[in-house]
Amino acid sequence: MEIILLLIYSGIVWLVFFKYRLLPWNTLTQVIVVIIPVVAIALLILFLNIVAPSSHDVRVLNYNVEVVPTVTGKVVDVPVKPNQHVNKGDVLFKIDPEPFELKVKSLQARIPMLEAKVISAKSYDKELEDQISAASNRVRVITSQLDLAIKRLDQTRVLAESGAGSKFDYEQAQANLNNLQAQKAVAESERAQSLQRISAVSSDGELSEITQARADLEQAKAQLDEAEWQLSQTVFRAPADGRVINLQLRPGAMAVQLPLKPVMTFVEDEQWLVALYNQNELRYVQNGDPAEVALKTYPNRIIKCEVEHIVWANAQGQITASGQLPDTQQTNFHEGRFAVRLNVSDEDKDLFLAPGAVGMGAIYTEHGVLIHLVRKVIMRVGTKMDWLVLKLH
């Protein structure tokens, strides 16, 4: 664009000073003729970089997912092809499910046995409860008999001491009392033993039979859920719409559950179109401003865009957490740029933007609308230059 303006200016100079000789061609006019375009173009470029800032670092970025299997096994099927577009939920690869199916069947067969064990333990628990109830009833009966025996003992003792009763009756009452006390002790001992067996934890710290049976059943159910989940993970599906790049996985390979060993890289369709700008170029840029992008993958094509937002942060704004004070004497410091995210307009929404594509772009602010044309011409001339492939090999 600058060359075009210089050519136009040169034509005007030729007409004024040589063709029609409207002004004399002397030292003063020569100096003025040279200074005018230099100052004008310098001011134009400076003002243009503020009201219509341009960037020669426009990038297409996509989200990448490193696919790591959640279970380890032999790959039996890879139905996708390299660079094939797939939808969310489509199968990417399958792991041999047989070992996981066998584990599920084993746990499914074990659970009914554990359930029967719990039922048996409940029956045993009910039997213990009946024994406790019977022992408690015996204790109550013997206690009431003891009360009566104590009264009888007192009565026979008084009668024996006064001579109104026989000493044999007193001794018999005393023997009855001792017998009832022994029966009560036996009944209380039986009740205590039954209570100890039915309790969740006995005096020696071991689980009761019913508690252990319930714990084994719940553990088996949890293991079955885990086994069924592992079986479902033998089929890995696409996490989003996208494509698999550089597919190396083949049937017969071993897919290992290691974060450092992904089996493939999945590139999602969702992407960012980002233009990087110096910090002093964004003073007038606002969300919603129109923009244009020219990518090298599409020579001689202008892609209409709109500013979504400015990412007001970069790596230089972060201090690494450590026990040391911030280092303020860094050498070779370079000013960090800020990224501007652009949205492609509806007319170019279906255009394929290859991840990693680069190019140039410009944002047109609300200021200096009249000179936006200069930037648009520069953009269009620049994208035509992308047709040239300058290499000898």
pLDDT in tens, 294-333: 999 999 999 999 999 999 988 877 777 777 777 666 666 6
Average pLDDT, the chain: 82
pLDDT of residue 366: 93
Q: What is the mean pLDDT of residues 354-359?
A: 92
Q: Is the pLDDT of residue 212 over 90?
A: no
Query: Encoding tokens for residue 18?
Result: 């040589």
139 pLDDT above the threshold of 50: yes
Higher-scoring residue by pLDDT: 307, 166: 307
From edge to edge, which strands make up the β-sheet containing 73-77?
A: 235-237, 91-95, 73-77, 254-255
The pLDDT score that the predictor gives to residue 195 is: 65
CA gap 45, 32 in Å, rounded: 20
Give dist(CA 51, CA 366) in Å, integer: 7
pLDDT one-digit tens code per residue, 236-263 = 999 999 999 888 899 999 999 888 888 9
CA distance 170 to 325: 97
Q: Quick one: pLDDT at residue 204?
A: 43
Task: Give 132's pLDDT tier (boundaries 50, 70, 90).
Answer: confident
C-alpha distances (whole Å) from 130 to each of 120, 141, 202, 223, 257 are 15, 17, 19, 35, 54
Q: With both helix axes pointing from N to C terminus, report the angle between 167-198 and 98-162 in degrees, rounded to the nearest 10.
A: 170
Query: Which is more confidently placed, 125 or 100?
Result: 100
Beta bridge partners of 67: 264
Interval 41-77: pLDDT, tens: 788 888 999 999 999 999 999 999 889 999 999 999 9
Q: pLDDT band at 124, cuts 50/70/90? A: low
User: Measured between alpha carbons, how far is 214 from 150 in angstroms, rounded to an integer?
Assistant: 48
Query: Could you please report the per-residue DSSP string of 134-197?
Result: HHHHHHHHHHHHHHHHHHHHHHHHHHHHHTSS-HHHHHHHHHHHHHHHHHHHHHHHHHHHHHHH
Determine the pLDDT at residue 231: 94
How does pLDDT run across 13-41, given as a tens digit for each residue?
A: 788 778 777 888 888 888 888 888 788 87
Q: Is the pLDDT assigned to residue 150 strictly greater than 80?
A: no
Q: Which residue has the higher pLDDT, 282 or 145?
A: 282
Residues forming beta bridges with residue 244, ordered by sequence position: 266
Q: How far apart are the first and last CA of the chain?
A: 31
Using CA atoms, how far apart are residues 366 and 375, in angstroms rounded to an integer?
14
Q: Is the per-residue pLDDT at 94 higher than 90?
A: yes
Whether pTM exceeds 0.85: no
- Evaluate if residue 219 carries a pLDDT over 80: yes
Q: Which of 61, 79, 57, 59 is nearest to 269 (CA)?
A: 61
Mean pLDDT of 98-123: 83
